[in-house]
Amino acid sequence: MFLDFRRALAQIGDPAFRRVLLLGIALALALLVAVYAAFLAVIQSFTPDSIEIPLVGPVGGLDTLLSWGSALFMLGLSVFLMMPVASAFTSLFLDDVAEAVEARHYPDLPPVPRLPFMDALVDSLNFVGLLIAVNVLALILYAFAGPFIPVVFWAVNGLLLGREYFTLVAMRRLGRQGAKAMRQRHWVAVWIAGTLMAAPLSIPLLNLLIPVLGAATFTHMFHRLHRAEGATDLSGRV
C-alpha cells in the first residue's frame, strides 16, 4: 500500500492529475468551511448571545466566519473536521480522481458510467452520517484510551474511511455487491490503508491534499488486489 501511495504522489507532475488535485483541494477547503460554519451555527443555537472563543473572539455571525482568528481556529479544528470532509469528498469527486489515475496507469480499461449526482449525494450524506454517529459513540473509547486517544481516533476513522474509499473505487468497476464482497476479503488491508490516510488528515493544511491522494491511492490498491486475485472483468458498474 506504500507503493500505491508513492504512485499516487508521483502523478502530481501529470497536468491532468494536477488539475484534479487543485480542484480537489478547492473542494476540500470549501467543504471544510461549510462544516466549520455548521459547527459555529450549532454553538450559536445553544447560546442566544455571542460567546467568546479563544483566538476567535465572540461568535456572532458571518463576521466571525470571515475573521482571521476564525480562520486559524478553523485550521486547528480541521484536525477533527477533516474526517467528515474527507467522507463527503469521496462520492462527490472520487470519479474524477479515479478517471485521472486510470487514464495514466490503466489506459486499456474500458470507460465506466459516472454515478448520477443524486445517487452520489445520497451516498455521501449516508457516509458522513455514519462517520459522525460512530465518532460520537467512540467518545466512550476515548475516555479510556488515555495517551492512545490519537491512535484510537485514527483507527476508528481509518476503518470507516477505508471502507468508504475502497467501496466506492471498487464499485465503479464491480458494482455494489462485487465491491462489498471484495472489501470483505481484504478488510484488514483496507482498514490499515484507511488508518494511514486518517493520520495525515489530522495535520492542518496537509490534510487538504489527502482526500485526492487517498482516492488515488485506493484506486491503485483496488487494481493491485484485483489483479492479484486473477480476476479480469472490469467492465463497469452494474
- Would you say residue 71 lies in a domain? no
pLDDT number for residue 114: 81
pLDDT number for residue 48: 54
Question: Which residue range forms the structural domain that includes residue 174?
Answer: 2-11+80-106+113-228
Taking only the tens place, the pLDDT of each residue in 12-51 is: 888 888 888 888 888 888 878 787 777 777 666 666 555 5
Mean pLDDT confidence for 140-144? 80
- Would you say residue 45 lies in a domain? no
- Would you say residue 21 lies in a domain? no
Mean pLDDT confidence for 177-203? 93
- Would you say residue 102 lies in a domain? yes
pLDDT number for residue 116: 78
- Would you say residue 91 lies in a domain? yes
pTM for this prediction: 0.81
- Would you say residue 124 lies in a domain? yes
- Number of domains making up the chain: 1
Is 69's pLDDT higher than 70? no
> For the chain, what percent of residues have pLDDT higher than 90?
24
Amino acid, res. 152: V
- Would you say residue 48 lies in a domain? no
Q: Which residue has the higher pLDDT, 196 or 74?
A: 196
